[in-house]
């Protein structure tokens, strides 16, 4: 009975017409295509035109080649229009066109973007498109576009779309989509009615995207290709940049992120435009000069070039006009403290203008920090934050003249007032903490040998608020010291940090610190001692040798 019901349902689906059931209905589609260059108010027309009916699929492989070629060509036209009208958040219907493009993508789809090494899955690729839409102006009706279809099997669609886009920075690029799509149908034999079954995904047949190669100008990500950008008066502008009187902001240190260039930021708030990408936000927030310097300071604190990589920073010119240059700066960086950490590319676009204030100088008038399609920034910070705090703490112990003042390391991770508690006593200022914790506890002769991170990290995605504990180990100089060592005990204190994520700085700040009274602790459980040299503990990380 159930099988009979399924067969009846299948027959109903076969009789459902979505696209056009034969060549005789093609006139209606051709009439529709006459208006493709105009702005649509009903994107549902687009969607229905791309879909095929179950009935059409029964005869698809037997249709003549010229008919298949015509359908593919007009399907490519429709897809190209979706690509155009989804390209900017300034178009009112961009969501409709973007949702149709996403619907056409198979869940297993992969994408290559502008020569980047990592392939993106469906989710990451659409997140990338979402960020790109904030960089371009709305499509004009006269903006150029083209498309072509390669000869392939009837169930395969290989097409190339080229669309002209106008950047908010003033230049024009050509974006190229190379799409490989297939008809998603499964063919089987019905045992009752004895005919072939062509079953489409969710009752609708369409060419589903299995691979996309996105290229062209690539001014936002990957390798810039000037064959698809406008480059005017480049020679003259570069000459002016070289002769400028304040070009020292372009200098950089070899072993750390450049920071001197911040001096070149225009001090006129009306002239300076700075934007930093925020994930999952359609509109990129604007930063003041001071806000950006704060953001960049925290960026330098978390990210660093791989040791020995002297070419981690590169610049690609995007557009050149008289007295004005736009470029994209790319930095290959790691996050955290480990030398084998994954390398990610950070990109920011910078515009400089000459003689903006009639002083014969170059000024940075616009900065845009671009999002990365392959990471979630807060997750990356969360995964390494405890190690960064611990490593910073140990570096203060190593460098400080009076090592017990090393609690000053907390200044690197605070913003505003931090609540402090030491052995149950409220401490008003961070500068007073050494007196309350170390001196009052008779620890000024002790030595901090390292730390251990307690508690396992929670699963991703990261939360905006969390806390963690560093168990700090001391080597006190007391008469009972040797006895406790033989009993395999460690003298330590649990330091608890409460953390909150700041969206503008994109950084976790400590807003509360609690220092437990030091005590002798058992070495069982998370404590691991060296089996031979019990004075040194293998769990100590970034500790003294």
Cis peptide before 191 (omega within 30 of 0): no
Residue 33 has what pLDDT? Answer: 33
485 half-sphere exposure, CB direction, 13 A CA radius: 18
**Average pLDDT, whole number, for the chain?**
75
Residues 6+ apart with CB under 8 A from 280: none
| Average of per-residue pLDDT across 170-178 | 91
Q: For tokens 């469906």, what's the residue?
A: 122
- Cα–Cα distance between 13 and 200 in angstroms, integer? 10
Q: Which two tokens stand for residue 538?
A: 């293998």
The answer to whether 421 and 513 are in contact (CB under 8 A) is yes
Lowest mean pLDDT among 50-64, 284-298, 508-522, 529-543: 529-543
Other C-beta atoms lying within 10 Å of the C-beta of residue 363: 22
Residue 118 has what pLDDT? Answer: 84
Q: Which of 20-29, 286-295, 380-389, 432-441: highest mean pLDDT? A: 286-295
Q: What percent of the chain has pLDDT over 70?
A: 67
Residue 230 has what pLDDT? Answer: 64
Split at pLDDT 50, 70, 90, the class of 506 is very high
Residue, of 357 and 333, whose pLDDT is higher: 333
Q: Which of 252-266, 339-353, 436-450: highest mean pLDDT? A: 339-353
Split at pLDDT 50, 70, 90, the class of 151 is very high
| Average of per-residue pLDDT across 186-190 | 46
Residue 16 has pLDDT above 60, yes or no: no
Residue 490 has pLDDT above 50, yes or no: yes
pLDDT digits (tens, 9 = 90+) for 244-286: 444 443 444 444 577 778 888 999 999 899 999 998 777 789 9
**In Å, what is the CA distance from 103 to each residue of 122, 194, 207, 333, 395?**
10, 33, 11, 35, 52
For residue 120, what is the DSSP state? B
Residue 27 has what pLDDT? Answer: 36
Residue 318 has what pLDDT? Answer: 85
Residue 296 has what pLDDT? Answer: 94
How many residues are given for the chain? 545
Pick among 3.40.50.620, 3.30.1180.20, 3.10.450.50, 2.60.200.20: CATH of 378-522:
3.10.450.50
Residue 186 has pLDDT above 60, yes or no: no
Classify domain 2-226 by CATH number. Answer: 3.10.450.50
| Average of per-residue pLDDT across 315-326 | 84
Instruction: Tell me the CATH architecture of domain 231-373.
Output: Roll (3.10)
Residue, of 323 and 138, whose pLDDT is higher: 138
| Average of per-residue pLDDT across 285-289 | 95
Helices (H), 156-212: none
Max Cα distance, the chain (Å): 101
- Cα–Cα distance between 380 and 336 in angstroms, integer? 9
Residue 115 has what pLDDT? Answer: 84
Residue 395 has pLDDT above 60, yes or no: yes
In this chain, the answer to whether the domains covering 2-226 and 378-522 adopt an identical fold is yes
pLDDT digits (tens, 9 = 90+) for 227-247: 666 654 444 544 544 454 444
Split at pLDDT 50, 70, 90, the class of 428 is confident
User: Taking the domains of the chain in order of start, what are their residue ranges?
Assistant: 2-226, 231-373, 378-522
Lowest mean pLDDT among 205-214, 270-279, 386-395, 502-511: 386-395
Residue, of 180 and 532, whose pLDDT is higher: 180
β-pairing, 448-454 with 156-166? unpaired
- What secondary structure does DSSP assign to 308-359, as a single string? T-TT-EEEEEEEEETTEEEEEEEEEEEESS-TTPPPEEEEEEEEEEESTTSS
Q: Which of 1-15, 292-306, 475-489: highest mean pLDDT? A: 292-306
| Average of per-residue pLDDT across 13-32 | 32
Residue 183 has what pLDDT? Answer: 84
The answer to whether 65 and 73 are in contact (CB under 8 A) is no
- Cα–Cα distance between 321 and 235 in angstroms, integer? 10
Residue 104 has pLDDT above 70, yes or no: yes
Residue 67 has pLDDT above 60, yes or no: yes
Residue, of 540 and 390, whose pLDDT is higher: 390
- Cα–Cα distance between 91 and 139 in angstroms, integer? 7
């Amino acid at each position: 009975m159930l099988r009979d019901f399924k067969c009846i349902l299948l027959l109903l689906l076969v009789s459902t017409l979505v696209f056009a059931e034969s060549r005789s209905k093609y006139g209606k589609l051709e009439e529709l295509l006459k208006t493709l260059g105009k702005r649509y108010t009903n994107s549902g027309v687009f969607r229905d035109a791309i879909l095929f009916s179950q009935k059409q699929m029964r005869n698809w492989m037997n249709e003549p080649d010229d008919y298949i070629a015509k359908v593919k060509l007009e399907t490519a036209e429709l897809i190209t229009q979706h690509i155009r009208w989804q390209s900017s958040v300034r178009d009112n219907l961009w969501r409709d066109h973007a949702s149709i493009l996403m619907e056409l993508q198979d869940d297993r789809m992969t994408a290559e973007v502008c020569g980047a090494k990592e392939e993106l899955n469906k989710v990451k690729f659409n997140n990338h498109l979402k960020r790109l839409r904030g960089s371009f102006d709305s499509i004009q009706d006269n903006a150029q576009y083209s498309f072509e279809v390669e000869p392939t099997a009837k169930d395969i669609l290989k097409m190339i779309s080229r669309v002209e886009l106008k950047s908010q920075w003033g230049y024009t690029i050509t974006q190229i989509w190379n799409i490989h799509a297939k008809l998603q149908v499964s063919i089987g034999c019905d045992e009752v009615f004895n005919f072939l079954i062509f079953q489409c995904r969710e009752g609708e047949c369409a060419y589903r995207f299995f691979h996309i190669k996105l290229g062209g100008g690539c001014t936002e990500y990957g390798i810039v290709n000037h064959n698809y950008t406008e480059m005017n008066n480049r020679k003259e502008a570069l000459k002016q940049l070289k002769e400028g009187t304040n070009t020292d902001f372009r200098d950089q240190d070899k072993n750390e992120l450049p920071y001197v260039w911040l001096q070149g930021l225009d001090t006129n708030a009306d002239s300076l435009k700075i934007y930093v990408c925020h994930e999952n936000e359609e509109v990129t927030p604007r930063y003041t000069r001071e806000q950006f310097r704060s953001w960049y300071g925290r960026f330098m604190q978390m990210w660093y070039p791989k040791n020995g990589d002297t070419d981690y920073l590169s610049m690609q010119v995007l557009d050149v006009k008289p007295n004005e240059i736009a470029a994209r700066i790319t930095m290959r960086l790691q996050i955290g403290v480990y030398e084998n950490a994954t390398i990610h590319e950070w990109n920011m676009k910078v515009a400089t203008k000459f003689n903006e204030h009639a002083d014969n100088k170059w000024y940075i008038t616009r900065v845009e920090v671009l999002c990365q399609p392959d990471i979630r920034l807060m997750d990356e910070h969360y995964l390494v934050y405890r190690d960064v705090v611990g490593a910073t703490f140990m570096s203060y112990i190593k460098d400080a003249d009076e090592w017990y003042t090393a609690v000053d390391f907390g200044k690197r991770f605070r913003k505003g007032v931090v609540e402090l508690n030491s052995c149950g006593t409220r401490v008003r200022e961070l500068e007073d903490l050494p007196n309350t914790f170390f001196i009052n506890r008779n620890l000024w002769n002790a030595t901090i040998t390292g730390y251990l991170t307690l508690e396992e990290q929670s699963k991703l995605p990261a939360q905006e608020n969390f806390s963690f504990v560093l168990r700090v180990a001391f080597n006190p100089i007391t008469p009972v010291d040797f006895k406790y060592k033989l009993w395999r005990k460690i003298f330590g204190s649990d330091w608890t940090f409460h953390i909150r994520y700041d969206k503008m700085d994109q950084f976790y700040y400590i807003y509360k610190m609690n220092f437990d009274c030091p005590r002798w602790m058992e070495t069982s459980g998370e404590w691991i001692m060296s089996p031979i040299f019990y004075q040194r503990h293998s769990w100590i990380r970034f500790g003294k040798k």
